[in-house]
A and B are shown apart, each in its own frame.
Chain A
């Protein structure tokens, strides 16, 4: 691809301290993110997938310094932004935006659409008051809404239209990077496709970089350049879209892909799924060694004891799995 990294994440850790029990008498630590490292390239769509509680949203929040990282670095334009306080962070906030899942709860019900989209423009002093109206109309046009929507309130809009407004609001700051945190998950299928097309158009037009957090693998396969798979606070695998879907290495990735239904009845009926047994363990007390070993169909002795190293197993293909490491060094190649 040859693109430059826009953001480099080094050994990022995020722990939440919580109190449990009816009276909060027990202290505990949620291991939301443990030692994850990756790069986000300029102009790409990098997706993070995984099941609920795997840490994909926490990653998005921590990258934007919305959660304070416990350890590790997030280098944006060479600057470690996790050490910045809110004031020092402000110029970066403009460039780093986020779109959330539920556009009903993220828009202020008492602000018109025009006010909502105009707010970040005024805050960052990106336009004069005189030009503001035009700027708002342009932004609404960018997301496919007519200018008259500026005087409407969120409750007058459908879910898809509200999500367009949320995207316009993120675009208002002329950002470089947008985290889409389950941005299309709450939408109906027919509307979801509209929003995906919109995100793709805007990326082309403004050269945006996306971190796309989603659990729908069919959508992820459609829009991503690269995909990272997370399990219980750790990255299991990260590689190009083609490589991940055609040649998954990690046993968890394989199970995840095999669980995705295809819209093809005869294929579905004849297909043999590799169904994982059991549930995801609690991030309060994650398993030792490889966190997937309790559900892994090919777990070995070492997997419960030693954390597998996050390494580039094949060019551009990172994975953390003892079995893969052994397979590669043992046979000098890989078999399915």
Chain B
């Protein structure tokens, strides 16, 4: 990999807590999350539906829906505090220094605006280009993301493009202002596997070419195996494990990560052999158990797990491999 790793923090999230207002009072949906992304680094954020992975990223840009708000914690981007920044400063960050790609391009693109205009919008707003410059750059961007006949496509409407092409347009918009950080939220989930491979290759290539950092949010561990430098695994609104990608796949320490990896069918499996699975289902927001949120489903659960919330701490052999589990820490320290 040609990724430049300087160890310089680009995004730094500390103790982030998000609550939702319900009829029965506030319920915590994201609990004390710590995350960081270094310059040039690609971070995978993995978790199942409802684990808070998308909300965490939306909260950084203060894009949370009504009734959901950040109650604790801080988030810094390039040293600047995103939570206290003025709205006008934040607008410069959104779509300027931080680009976004969302899951569903059909709902994220404006259906009554031509592709070229939608690409030009951030360029005019953030980079003070005039219309002609922006249009020229829009054409270059479409070429960059591999849309055939790029210049002719500028006047197309979203419905005239296929799903894969629309996702490429979304990526082009995300990249329009040469962001330092691209946040991609399940960008290939709605796509077919051959198109998914195209998009993953495209993001890899552009990342290496432009030297940006990427946060790739997904539920698919296999998909990010060859794409990211580091993985943060989320469960029920907390980070349960955060490790360099090779460590995470080779030596997963948290029982949830172990369960997730074991439940993916492998090449070497016998046909119709039983897959190992995790019993039960994730807790609903607002019904989080006391103590470790994974305790009710955990095969290694002990008394302490129901009492106290484990902290995300580095393992004795590798400080970069952090895990929030009493049992994992005790076992590895004894070893």
Contact = CB atoms under 8 A, between A and B. Distances in A.
A327 B193 CA distance: 28
Contact of B271 (A219, A222, A268, A276): A222
A226 to B, nearest CB: 11
A221 B265 contact: yes
Nearest to B161: A279
A189 B264 CA distance: 7
Contacts of A280: 162, 192
B304 interface: no
Interface stretch (A18-26, A62-70, A132-140, A256-264): A256-264
A308 B275 CA distance: 39
B164 A279 contact: yes
Contact of B265 (A51, A158, A222, A267): A222
B5 to A, nearest CB: 15
Contacts of B148: 278
Contact of A263 (B162, B225, B276): B225
Interface residues of A, number: 49
A277 to B, nearest CB: 8
Contacts of A293: none
Interface stretch (A81-89, A106-114, A146-154, A191-199): A191-199
B132 interface: no
User: Interface SS of chain B: helix, strand, loop or mixed?
Assistant: loop
Interface residues of B, number: 47
B274 A200 contact: yes
A46 to B, nearest CB: 13
Given A256-B193, A276-B194, A189 B266 contact: no
Interface stretch (B12-20, B120-128, B176-184, B195-203): B195-203
Contacts of B245: 265
A193 B276 contact: yes
Interface in B245-278: 245-246, 249, 259-261, 263-267, 269, 271-278
A263 B222 contact: yes
B156 interface: no
Contacts of A225: 271
B272 A262 contact: no
A95 interface: no
A275 B267 contact: no
B7 interface: no
B49 interface: yes
Contacts of A161: 281
A221 B269 CA distance: 9
B264 A191 contact: no
A265 B263 contact: no
B271 A51 contact: no
User: Interface SS of chain A: helix, strand, loop or mixed?
Assistant: helix
A216 to B, nearest CB: 8
A217 B265 CA distance: 9
Given A222-B269, A265-B245, A265-B249, A192 B263 contact: yes
Contacts of A191: 277-278, 281
Contacts of B226: 261, 265, 267-269, 271
B264 to A, nearest CB: 5
Given A189-B263, A261-B222, A275-B197, A269 B275 contact: no
A131 interface: no
B4 interface: no
B193 A259 contact: yes
B283 to A, nearest CB: 10
A74 B298 CA distance: 48
Nearest to A281: B162
B225 A193 contact: no
A189 B278 CA distance: 9
Contacts of B165: 279
Contacts of B275: 193, 196-197, 222
Contacts of B10: none
A112 B263 CA distance: 31
Interface in A159-203: 159-161, 188-194, 196-197, 200
A188 B261 contact: no
Contacts of A215: 192-193
A266 B263 CA distance: 20
Contacts of A276: 194, 197-198
Interface string B264-301: 11110101111111110110000000000000000000
A247 interface: no
Contacts of A267: 225-226
B48 A189 contact: yes
B334 interface: no
Nearest 4 CB-CB pairings of A with B: A268-B226, A193-B277, A222-B265, A193-B263
19 contacts: A51-B193, A188-B282, A189-B219, A190-B277, A218-B265, A218-B266, A219-B265, A221-B267, A223-B271, A223-B272, A259-B193, A259-B194, A261-B200, A262-B225, A262-B267, A263-B249, A264-B225, A269-B226, A278-B148
